[in-house]
A and B are shown apart, each in its own frame.
Chain A
Amino acid sequence: MQKEILVVLKDAEEKDFLTPHLLPVSELVHMVEIGDLSQAMAHFEESRKVPALIIISTRLYPEGNPGLVATLEARYPGSEILLVSSSSDPFPPLQPLIRDNVRHLVINPEKNGVFDEEPELSLFSLAIRKISEGLSLTIRDYLRPDTYIHEIRVSSSDQKEEIIARLEGVINGDSSEIELLRQKGALLADEMLENAIYDAPRKEDSASLYKKGKKRRVPLKENIAFRFGFDGETLAMEVEDGWGSLSPKVVLEHFAKNQDDFELFDEAGGRGLFILWRFLDHIHIHINPGRQTVVGGHVKLVTAENLIEKKGFHITTSCAV
C-alpha cells in the first residue's frame, strides 16, 4: 500500500523550490504552506488517511514554530518526521529535535545526488522512499549496483587493524583526494569497530561490559559484522552488532553534547559517534532495541578533502523507542 506524505513549508517560494525534488513521489505528496496546514489536516481526516511521513522545513521548525512537531505528532502519532534544511540557513538546534523525537534531517535536498550522473536520485528522494516504506538505509543504497560489498565477521578485537588495512587496500590510487579518503575511511572504520566491540556491550544498568584497549574475544552471538564497498567515487561502510544498546535519543544527545561543548572529557560521552557523524557525508543508524544496531554511511571522493559543515542524519528503529 502506498503511503501519503505531508510536506509543510514556509511559503510559496519554498514550495516552488522543493516541488521538482518531490517529483518521484508527487502522487503521494500533499504540499502545504504553514498557513494552510489546518486545511490539509482536515483533508487527511476526511479521507481517513494518515501521513506515513511528514516533511518540515527548518525555516518553520524548530525556531519559528517550536510546537509544530508536537502538534503534528499528537494528531499523527505513528508518522515519521523528516526535516529539510538548506546549508545557507542556520543549522537547526538539536535539543528541540531530541525533545520531539525527530530522527531524520536532510541538508540541501536539491543536491547530494547519490550518483553524479543521476542527480534526480538524491539522498532526499532515497530517504523519503525508505522512510515511507518503513525501511532503513544500507550501504548498498549509496553504491553503484555492481559494487562488491566486503563483509568481515569480527571474532576478536585483534582484527581491527587487519580490517582497516583491508579497507584501505580497496581505495586504490595516489592522488591527494584518494589518500584523504583512505585516511577518512581508516578513522571511520576504527570508530565503528571500537563502538561495536567496546561501547555496544552493556550490562542491564547500561554500564560498559568491556574496557577499551583490553583484548577481547567476540562470541558469535554478538554478531559483529563490518561491511564496506568502494565504487570509485563513493566509500560506504557500516558496522552491525547484536546488542541494540543505543537509542535515537542517546545518539542525538551525543551529537548535541559534542557539538556544543568541546571540552567534555568524559569518554562515556559519545565522541566516537560524533566523529562518525562529522566525517561521514551522511550517517544512518538503525536500532532494533536489545537485538541489533547498525551504524553506517558514506563518504564521497569529491568531499574527501574537506568536511561538510552541516550534516544530516537518518535514524530508524524496528519498533517504537
Chain B
Amino acid sequence: MVANFNIELIEDNNFDLCVLRGNIDIHAEKYLQELPGKVKTGKIKLDFSEVGRINSMGIGLLLRCFKKIRDEKEAEVILSGLNTMHTMLFKTTGVFLIAKSDK
C-alpha cells in the first residue's frame, strides 16, 4: 500500500476512470476536492483495489466528492475493487446511496 494518497486519472472515450491509492483520510482532501472538476463524461469509475483504510474523515470527503459529481456534473459514480471492509463501511455510512458498486 502506498504511504501517501494519490489518484491516477485515466481518460477513456466512454467514461472517466480513476485509480485511487493509499489510505483515505484528511490527507486525501485536496485530491478529492479537485476530482469533480476533472470529470468529463457522464460516468466516472473509481477503482478502490489499491485503497487501504478509510476513516470517518475519508468517508466525509468521499460523500462530498460523489455528491458534487452527481449534482454538479450530473455524472454517475461507479465503484470497483471494493474489499469487504470498504463495502461494510460504505453500507453503514450511506455512500451507496450516492455511488453504485460494479458488483
CB distance from A204 to the nearest CB of B (A): 25
Query: A307 with B92: in contact, given A183-B53, A272-B55 (CB under 8 Å)?
Result: yes
Chain B interface secondary structure, helix, strand, loop or mixed?
helix
Task: Say which residue of A191, A258, A307 sits within 8 Å of B55 (CB atoms).
Answer: A191
Determine the main DSSP class of A at the interface with B: helix
Report if A194-B92 is in contact (Cβ < 8 Å); known contacts: A212-B26, A265-B63.
no
Assuming the A-B contacts A183-B53, A305-B84, are A271 and B60 also in contact, with contact meaning beta carbons closer than 8 angstroms in the complex?
yes
User: CB distance B55 to A194 under 8 Å?
Assistant: yes
Residues of A264-289 whose CB lies within 8 A of B: 265, 267, 271-272, 274-275, 278-279
Complex CA gap A94/B57 in Å reads: 24
**Hey, which chain A residues are within 8 Å of B67, CB to CB?**
263, 265
- The size class of the interface chain B forms with chain A is 20 to 34
Query: B63: which A residues are within 8 A, CB to CB?
Result: 262-263, 265
Residue of B nearest to A183 (CB): B85
Q: A212-B26, A263-B63 are in contact. Are A271 and B56 (CB under 8 A)?
A: yes
Cβ distance A265 to chain B, nearest Cβ, rounded Å: 5
B residues less than 8 Å from A265 (CB atoms): 60, 63-64, 67
Q: List 19 A-B contacts (CB under 8 A).
A: A183-B85, A186-B53, A187-B89, A191-B55, A194-B56, A194-B57, A212-B26, A213-B26, A263-B98, A265-B63, A267-B60, A271-B60, A275-B56, A275-B59, A305-B84, A306-B88, A307-B88, A307-B91, A307-B92
